[in-house]
Amino acid sequence: MDIRAIITGILLALGCFFIVVASIGIVRFPDFYSRMHPAGKSDTLGQLLVLSGLMVYEGFSLVSVKLLIIIVFIFIVNPTATHALAKAAYVSGLKPWKKEKGKND
């Protein structure tokens, strides 16, 4: 089998793994703010891995340069969007979930 196809497969599988775990995290975590963690981080790395897998598959061409541009774009946009959501919640006064009430402020 082609070595390039194997690398592509590994990268795609890893990327999908992180995206699936992020989705599980969004369901499992207790409140809005902690749900922002998987939404903001794992999506970024998952998409990075998936898109770089496609870049490896494509080889050096115009398409892979475009994929690289998409990766850079997502890297800037994803944390910014997370920040915007978290700030909106904070400004409208949503209180974060705490493990033991009253223990730590």
Partner 1 sequence: MSFILTASIMFAFWILLSGEFSFILILSGVFSSLLVSYMSHDLLIGKGDIKLGLTRTIRFIKYLPWLLWQIVLANLDLVYRTLHPKMPINPRIINFKNDFKTDLGMVILANSITLTPGTVTIEVNENEFIVHTIAEEAAQSLISGEMQARVKKIEGEHNV
Q: Contact positions toward partner 1, by CB under 8 A? A: 18, 21-22, 24-25, 28-31, 33-34, 36-38, 40-42, 44-45, 62, 65-66, 76, 79-80, 82-83, 86-87, 90-91, 96-99, 104-105
Minimum Å gap between C-beta 58 and partner 1 is: 13
For residue 57, the Cα-to-chain-centroid distance in whole angstroms is 21
Alpha-carbon gap, residue 42 to 18, rounded angstroms: 6
Using the minimum distance from each CB to partner 1, give the nearer residue, 13 or 97.
97
The Cα diameter of the chain in Å comes to 59
Using the minimum distance from each CB to partner 1, give the nearer residue, 5 or 80.
80
| Exposure string over 17-49, b if 16+ CB within 10 A, otherwise e | ebbeebeebbeebeeebebbebbbbbbbbbbbb
Minimum Å gap between C-beta 8 and partner 1 is: 19
Minimum Å gap between C-beta 1 and partner 1 is: 27
Minimum Å gap between C-beta 97 and partner 1 is: 6
Q: Tokens for 42?
A: 């794992």
